């Protein structure tokens, strides 16, 4: 699977939401953590929006 940053942001908005299935939400949270470590300028807002505080 390939995604650009815009597609990843959309994926995270959908799949990190509290109404998403928990298995998908957990995996998306792990992916968001990795993306935020590598590209904090792009993903930091979503990182903060979903209440994830540890890096």
Residue 55 lies in a domain: no
**By the 8 A CB rule, do 52 and 33 touch?**
yes
Q: Stretch 27-37: mean pLDDT, rounded?
A: 94
Checking if the pLDDT of 40 tops 80, the result is yes
Residue 54 falls inside a structural domain: no
Confirm whether 29 is domain-assigned. yes
Examine residue 44 and state whether it is found in any structural domain, yes or no.
Answer: yes
Number of domains in the chain: 1
The 3-class SS string of 13-50 reads HHHCCCCCCHHHHHHHHHHHHHHHHHCHHHHHHHHHHC
* Residue 25 annotated to the active site: no
| Per-residue model confidence (pLDDT) at position 55 | 44
Residue 26: give the domain boundaries.
5-49
Q: Which is the catalytic residue, given 9, 11, 15, 20?
A: 15
- pTM > 0.75: yes
**Is residue 10 in some structural domain?**
yes
Does residue 15 contact residue 29 with C-beta atoms inside 8 Å? no
Q: Could you read off the pLDDT of 3-28 as tens digits, one per residue?
A: 999 999 999 999 999 999 999 999 99
52, 32 contact by CB (below 8 A): yes
């Amino acid at each position: 699977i390939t995604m650009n940053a815009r597609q990843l942001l959309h994926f995270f908005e959908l799949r990190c939401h509290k109404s998403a299935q928990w298995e998908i939400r957990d995996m998306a949270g792990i992916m968001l953590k990795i993306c935020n470590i590598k590209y904090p300028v792009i993903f930091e807002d979503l990182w903060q929006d979903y209440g994830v505080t540890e890096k």
